[in-house]
A and B are shown apart, each in its own frame.
Chain A
Amino acid sequence: AQKVTQAQTEISVVEKEDVTLDCVYETRDTTYYLFWYKQPPSGELVFLIRRNSFDEQNEISGRYSWNFQKSTSSFNFTITASQVVDSAVYFCALIDNTNAGKSTFGDGTTLTVKP
């Protein structure tokens, strides 16, 4: 069975601080895909990144970076120099071969960035 755990329910930081959101996943498949989505107060989830299980290279996109470590089954997300507009709920998700087409989401981490 596939499972995604986001242990941090809520995080609050002050603007310009760096913040890391943790994601731990479980799957029996060797081929799988990991995702991060952002859900602002408007409610619409927005895709941020996808990684496949064969690509462990870390990725940086502007102030966002992702650290994928198969050894610890983690796919953590770091926001550098956070801004108030980063305030949202962030979800980590997993698709594996056994459950093709079906994304399993964590329960999300609510990030509040205070000015």
Chain B
Amino acid sequence: GAGVSQSPRYKVAKRGQDVALRCDPISGHVSLFWYQQALGQGPEFLTYFQNEAQLDKSGLPSDRFFAERPEGSVSTLKIQRTQQEDSAVYLCASSLPTGRAGELFFGEGSRLTVL
């Protein structure tokens, strides 16, 4: 597709459930990022891939969060045993260059609500 595609757009989970959020980046984009955006705040970095390699996962809040990009294109962010504090919009972004400071192309996000 022309842009970054994320699914599902909306997810409601009961506390304790596992969720998986998918990101399909722009074709040919090497770098892929996940951000978490709480209501009224800016995006907070979670993790970063260059091709299939996860180069930085320092922003993942706990070991319940796991991200993968096995073939260097589509990525999945998995949250195990969801908690209410996990409720947020999860943004995926991709970037063409392998350098450090490329502009980011964002998807529309996946809004997670944990009840």
A interface with B by C-beta (< 8 Å): 4, 33, 35, 37, 42-47, 50, 52, 91, 93, 95, 97, 100-108
Known: A45-B43, A52-B101, A95-B101. A101 touches B108 (CB 8 A): no
Smallest CB gap from A102: residue in B: B45
Known: A101-B48, A105-B43. A44 touches B103 (CB 8 A): no
Of B40, B55, B108, the residue contacting A107 (CB under 8 A) is B40
Smallest CB gap from A45: residue in B: B106
CB <8 Å contact, B100 and A35: no
- The CA-CA distance from A108 to B33 in the complex, in Å, is 19
Chain B, interface size category, equals 20 to 34
Smallest CB gap from A9: residue in B: B40
**B91 CB-CB contact with A under 8 Å:** yes
Known: A105-B43, A107-B42, A108-B42. A43 touches B108 (CB 8 A): yes
Q: List 21 A-B contacts (CB under 8 A).
A: A35-B104, A42-B108, A45-B91, A47-B104, A47-B105, A91-B43, A95-B100, A97-B100, A100-B101, A101-B48, A101-B56, A101-B100, A102-B45, A102-B48, A104-B45, A105-B35, A105-B43, A105-B44, A106-B42, A107-B41, A108-B42
